[in-house]
Amino acid sequence: MAGPAMGAPGRPGAGGAVGGPGAGASRPSMRKALEVFRYRHYRFLWASSTFSFTGMQMQQVARALLAWQLTESFAASGAIALSFGLPMLLFALVGGSLADRMEKRNLTLMTQASTGILALITAIMVATDTITFELLFVIGLVQGTFFAFGMPARMPLMAEVVGPSNVMSAIAMSNAAMNFTRLFGPAIAAVLVAVSGIAAAYFVMASLYVFSTALLLMVPTGLSQLARQQREAAEGATGAPSGPLGGRPKGSMWREIGGGLRYVWTTPRLRLLIGMMFIITLFAMPYTILLPGYVQEDLGRSEASYGWLQSISGVGALVASLAVATLTDFNRKPLVQWTAGIVSGIGMALLAWPLGMGYAGVILAVIVLGAATTAYQTLNNTMVMGESDPEYYGRVMSINMLTFSVMPLMSAPLGVLADLITAEATFAIMGGVIVVIMTLIGLSNRDYTFQVEAPREYEPSPRLPAAASASSEDSPAAEAPAPQPMGVGGGGGGGGA
């Protein structure tokens, strides 16, 4: 693949050239990663995401156990996952276009509240014993639709409030929150299911979404519009164009979607990164769908054992997230991602052949998988955002989300395969495919994978005139540590404290 496209001034990932070993060396820094928490709006968004992620982690366990309870079939469990992925495939691009047209905070708020209502409805149906496989499938379709519209707005919003140079830290810390919830979310769901039943788990999920929505209300509306005005002011001051293809949303939604697709296709590094994301989502992540049946049928363990296994995998995932968060200025990120991909394939093989240790070997395998797949995905997401012009954030993230949609889509055929040849054999095939493909990518893209990136420079966006920004506390951050960046600090201003 060709090298990265050069970005406009102020673009977070204004592409750096690559050099030989030792060029522009930089060290991981946790201090740099934690700078994002200086921004008050980011703190509210991060806390909101943490409650939401906890609900999502609980739901993965509760929904998988409910599907297995209703059907006792790997294929049927995969079909439930398919119901969540299908709307993502169909509507993710529409969601990305809406995210670039609408106020991202409002779109995130609407979809988050709707998800909470859906969790409550599911809880009531389970409690009244009216839930069926067909209804669970329909619920998955509706929830997948909400996710397709909400996620392309949430992540770019978190990036907009911290400024270009902090984009990687903002997304990495968000991923750290998600993986922190993996430590206890699945365990809470498993304990609730074992003690009080699946309905109790869904009721708790609904309450978590209430907290998440309440925290979003503390973030003022208008941040996306103000961030766009800041970018336009910066472009006016430097004479730089608004992205290579006219990034500001214009015309019909379908024209905007087409513009986003052309932008990704004509930006070589974005094209490569999004292609690489398909590897892990196709051949590694679907293992979580097969895991409930594998644990209960092949290992002879209980539902609670599956929940604890999910929580244990979060240990590796959390460590990987925090490690990636320190790599904001590190210049070997492609190599780290490639290595994580290889280790993911090894983890799948270990899941198939747990070294004769039974359940203990599976615990080791999921820790390795949790760390490797999280490092791979987090690096991919942050590099995708870093290589994107802010005007395209929503559309680029929606295209990146298409890779996530294939995970549940792939779960259905993998479930059928597991029914035919056993889950262990399926895990072995998945791991082998990952190692082979990652090896081919490394050999065919040696300059990208193994060389050192030159340091990147960021131009801070100028402050808007006072008339355009009534309160600096309610405005998205431009760049730290300029004189009291907008949205920095913990005091005063609208949006709540």
User: Is residue 354 domain-resident?
Assistant: yes
Average pLDDT estimate for 108-135: 92
Q: Exposed, middle or buried: residue 446 (CB in 10 Å: 0-12, 13-18, 19+)?
A: exposed
- Note the pLDDT tens digit of each residue in 413-456: 888 888 888 888 899 999 999 999 999 999 988 888 887 766 55
Helix axes 223-238, 104-127, angle to 10 degrees: 150
List, as one string, the DSSP characters of 255-295.
HHHHHHHHHHHTSHHHHHHHHHHHHHHHHTTTHHHHHHHII
CATH number for position 298: 1.20.1250.20
Its sign, for the CA torsion 384, 388, 390, 394, is: negative
What pLDDT is attached to residue 124? 94
* 490 within domain boundaries: no
Residue 396 forms part of a structural domain: yes
CA atoms within 13 A on the CB side of 90: 11
pLDDT digit string, tens, across residues 113-122: 999 999 999 9
pLDDT of 161? 84
- The region of weakest confidence among 8-12, 215-219, 284-288 is 8-12
16-68 pLDDT, tens digit per residue, is: 444 444 444 466 667 777 888 988 999 999 999 999 989 988 888 888 888 88
Residue 361 CB partners (closer than 8 Å, separation 6+): 350, 354, 355
Model pLDDT, residue 235: 56
Residue 78's beta-bridge partner residues?
none
Mean pLDDT across 396-416:
77
- Over residues 259-281, the pLDDT tens digits come to 888 998 998 888 889 889 888 88
Pick the residue with more confidence: 351 or 72?
A: 351
* pLDDT for the residue 456: 53
Domain membership flag for residue 367: yes
How would you class 230 by CB atoms within 10 Å of its CB: exposed for 0-12, middle for 13-18, buried for 19 or more? Answer: buried
The answer to whether position 134 is within a domain reads: yes
- In the chain, the number of structural domains is 1
The string of pLDDT tens digits covering residues 335-393 is 999 999 999 999 998 888 876 677 888 888 889 998 999 899 888 888 888 788 877 88
Of the two residues 16 and 160, the one the predictor is more confident about is 160
Residue 257 in domain? no
Residue 25 is predicted with a pLDDT of: 46
Q: Is residue 250 part of a domain?
A: no
Phi, psi of 19 (to 5 degrees): -135, -175
List the domain range (segments joined by +) for residue 361: 29-225+267-449+462-474
Tell me, yes or no, whether 132 lies in a domain.
yes
**Which pLDDT score, from 0 to 100, does residue 496 have?**
36
Q: What is the DSSP letter of 468?
A: G
pTM beyond 0.85, yes or no: no
- Looking at residue 474, its pLDDT comes to 42
Those residues with Cβ within 8 angstroms of residue 322's Cβ, 6 or more apart along the chain or in another chain: 30, 33, 176
How many Cβ atoms sit within 10 Å of the Cβ of residue 497? 11
